[in-house]
Amino acid sequence: DIQMTQSPASLSASLGETVTIQCQASEDIYSGLAWYQQKPGKSPQLLIYGASSLQDGVPSRFSGSGSGTQYSLKISSMQTEDEGVYFCQQGLKYPRTFGGGTKLELK
Amino acid sequence: QVQLQQSGAELVKPGSSVKISCKASGYTFTSYDMHWIKQQPGNGLEWIGWIYPGNGNTKYNQKFNGKATLTADKSSSTAYMQLSSLTSEDSAVYFCARQWRYYFDYWGQGVMVTVSS
């Protein structure tokens, strides 16, 4: 199975601050990566797919980048509504696997 | 609009089985794979398997072979997951999610399954 490792496990950011979350795959996943946001008591929401494509309706302050085994999610200007847990997911092979999550809080 | 409406919370006894549902609306149910994903409290997400409602084909995470059984009813646009021989390790929230490309674009609201005597 492809292991997905996220870092950091948690972080806090001030309003307007730039936030970056990392995701490392145990093997090359050829940009087959998605990012999700999950708020307490809710289901995950797809933010980014194909490593860098923004899902419809997602604010443009979210962006994704990376290749090979290293990927990142950037929030260019932290907003209150961005609090939550962020997960990466590889879409290259079965079983589909997720990162352990990064909890983002407002400072 | 696409919606995945899951059944309600379940409290079940160890050793028993439970069947949870996921009713799809707003799209052609038989044209998209439906996946199931487990989330234990405070933990991450674990992929269980998928079913293609168009022909009933399934694929499972080896870890859930014998634990989960996926079915679908085309007449009611509803996907089902049965979990058997339940233990405390099966206590979790279970999501259904529609596959789009290689990802999950719509999710159900989740079903909390609690295994307790």
Contact status, residue A98 vs residue B44, Cβ threshold 8 Å: yes
Q: Is the pLDDT of residue B68 over 80?
A: yes
**What's the count of helices (H) and strands (E) in chain B, helices before strands?**
0, 11
Distance (Å) from the alpha carbon of B63 to chain A's nearest alpha carbon: 10
Q: How far apart are CA B19 and CA B88, in angstroms?
A: 16
Chain B partners within 8 Å of A95 (Cβ): 47, 61-63
Q: What is the pLDDT along chain A (107 residues), one digit of tens a residue?
A: 999 999 999 999 999 999 999 999 999 999 999 999 999 999 999 999 999 999 999 999 999 999 999 999 999 999 999 999 999 999 999 999 999 999 999 99
pLDDT the model gives residue B76: 98
Report the share of chain B in percent with pLDDT over 70.
100
User: Can you tell me the mean pLDDT for B11-35?
Assistant: 98
Chain A partners within 8 Å of B44 (Cβ): 87, 98-101
Instruction: Please spell the DSSP secondary structure of B79-111, one letter per residue.
Output: EEEEE-S--GGG-EEEEEEEEETTEEEEE---E
Report the share of chain B in percent with pLDDT over 90.
97
Contact status, residue A90 vs residue B101, Cβ threshold 8 Å: no
Distances (CA, A) of A41 to A22, A50, A102, A105, B43: 24, 27, 16, 16, 13
Q: How far apart are CA A16 and CA A76, in angstroms?
A: 8
B92 touching chain A per CB within 8 A: no
Distance (Å) from the alpha carbon of B87 to chain A's nearest alpha carbon: 23
Distance (Å) from the alpha carbon of B99 to chain A's nearest alpha carbon: 10
Question: Which chain B residue has the Cα nearest residue A40?
Answer: B42
Distances (CA, A) of A70 to A26, A76, B96, B103: 9, 19, 28, 18
Distance (Å) from the alpha carbon of A67 to chain B's nearest alpha carbon: 16
Residues A43, B35: C-beta atoms closer than 8 Å: no
Q: Is the pLDDT of residue B34 over 80?
A: yes
Instruction: Please spell the DSSP secondary structure of B2-24, one letter per residue.
Output: -EEEE---EEE-TT--EEEEEEE
Neighbours of A65 (CB within 10 A): 14
Q: Is the pLDDT of residue B7 over 80?
A: yes
Residues A98, B107: C-beta atoms closer than 8 Å: no
Residues 6+ apart with CB under 8 A from A102: A6, A7, A8, A9, A10, A11, A21, A85, A86, A87
pLDDT the model gives residue B26: 98
In a mutational test of the B interface, the residue from A43, A87, A92 whose CB has the highest number of chain B CBs within 10 Å is: A43
Residues A34, B46: C-beta atoms closer than 8 Å: no
Residues A96, B35: C-beta atoms closer than 8 Å: yes
Q: In the structure, what pLDDT confidence band is assigned to residue B42 with cuts at 50, 70 and 90?
A: confident
Contact status, residue B103 vs residue A49, Cβ threshold 8 Å: yes
Chain A partners within 8 Å of B107 (Cβ): 43-45
Contact status, residue B86 vs residue B15, Cβ threshold 8 Å: yes
